Amino acid sequence: MNDRTVWWEAGKVRMIDQRRLPLSYEIADFETVPGVAFAIKDMVVRGAPAIGATAAYGMALAAHHSTAAMPAALLDELRQAKRTLDAARPTAVNLSWATARLLQLAERLAANGANVARIRQALLDEAQRLADEDVEINRRMGRHGAAVIPQNANILHHCNTGSLATVGYGTALGVIRAAHEAGKNVHVWVDETRPRLQGARLTAWELMRDGIPMHLIADNAAGLLMRQGRVDVVLFGADRVAANGDVANKIGSYKLAVLAKENGIPCYAVVPTSTIDLSLPDGDHIPIEERGWEEVVMIGDTQIAPDDVPVYNPAFDVTPHRYFTGIITEEGICYPPFTESLRRAKEAAEARIRQAQTDFV
Ligand code: MRU
């Protein structure tokens, strides 16, 4: 089994096919930018950081297969590749964050007189660096987050935020892993996460492989468990965080955060700074993806609702910032007022990336 969710090999973007797990473990290969965009849209790969890394490899793929002789022509192709990849899924900002990072690097190299071969190699190196950084960032978030997980904690977790949602280790699940590795004797209530069942299919698979104690629960069980005092902390990830700390994440997250506050339970979002979008003032500005009827009407190959039933299937919801105890990033835990703390975390991370690229360009 590969220890990464997505990787580059011999001119191909390779990934674990998450549509098939846990019943079958298969690797899917993509060699074109439209192919990579399809993989993101169809959720062969999913989870905000994982689709960011995949899109970065998609940009490297565009350069790798380009026949452009001059940098200006290559830049045009990269801009087109960015448009194709960014359109694959609208909510996770990591996608356009990653493609922008690669395009800007290419533009800077071209402005400094680099030729096509040099830009091509630099984009592949940058995509690899972004993927490596993702794992390192997740481990840092894990260390910060583990500090707020009590001994013997019962943790309620939504969707899949693990290795599979990232390049490796995970965000909220990375915090759980770090707490487990620190010997905190944690137990996880795993929300099944209808309609795509990322909790039942993917989070349960990851936790069981790691030997972390867990129970799978129907999404509707969360309120009962919280009221019975059987949840000590609620953790989930994010696909986009607005400047004020409002968090877009998998549909159902908002309900959990409200229940947590009602029951006096701390609730954290675990978020790499690449998921913070300071250009949006609040969560009302975050685009919410709507997905197809078949995700609600079908479970696997089995239809569970009448033919032609009208369906509405929003894939994400927005939790207002007031419901969060804190937002855990690789730069540390951000506390209210989030407008200040998130901006400081984002600036620190951007300075680090700029410095690395300056050394490189
Ligand atoms: O639709 P998905 O499976 O891509 O949604 C994933 C989530 O909502 C995750 O919680 C989010 O991307 C953060 S995980 C690192």
Q: Where in the chain is the domain with CATH 1.20.120.420?
A: 6-139+351-360
What local confidence, expressed as pLDDT, does residue 107 receive? Answer: 98
What local confidence, expressed as pLDDT, does residue 361 receive? Answer: 67
Residue ranges of the chain with pLDDT lower than 50?
none
Q: How far is the CA of 113 from the centre of ligand 1 (A)?
A: 39
Q: Where in the chain is the domain with CATH 3.40.50.10470?
A: 141-346
User: Residue 143 corresponds to which tokens in the numbers above?
Assistant: 């260390």
User: Residue 355 corresponds to which tokens in the numbers above?
Assistant: 């410095």
Q: How far is the CA of 2 from the centre of ligand 1 (A)?
A: 20
Question: Is the shortest distance between the CB of 248 and ligand 1 below 6 Å?
Answer: no
Of the candidates 86, 219, 239, 277, the residue annotated as catalytic is 239
SS3 letters for 33-61? Answer: HHHHHHHHHCCCCCCHHHHHHHHHHHHHH
Query: pLDDT tens-digit profile of 210-220?
Result: 999 999 999 99
pTM (2 d.p.): 0.97
Distance (Å, rounded) from C-alpha 45 to C-alpha 64?
21
Mutate-to-test residue for ligand 1 from 42, 46, 256, highest number of ligand atoms within 8 A of CB: 46
Distance (Å, rounded) from C-alpha 157 to C-alpha 129?
29
What is the residue with the minimal CA distance to atom 6 of ligand 1? Answer: 47
Mutate-to-test residue for ligand 1 from 94, 219, 250, highest number of ligand atoms within 8 A of CB: 250
Question: Is the shortest distance between the CB of 239 and ligand 1 below 6 Å?
Answer: yes
Classify domain 141-346 by CATH architecture.
Answer: 3-Layer(aba) Sandwich (3.40)
User: Residue 198 corresponds to which tokens in the numbers above?
Assistant: 């990322």
User: Residue 22 corresponds to which tokens in the numbers above?
Assistant: 């846990």
Query: pLDDT tens-digit profile of 59-113?
Result: 999 999 999 999 999 999 999 999 999 999 999 999 999 999 999 999 999 999 9
Q: What strands, in cross-sheet order, belong to the sheet with 247-250?
A: 276-277, 240-242, 247-250, 316-319
Secondary-structure class of domain 6-139+351-360 per CATH = mainly alpha
State yes or no: is 301 an active-site residue: no
What local confidence, expressed as pLDDT, does residue 160 receive? Answer: 98
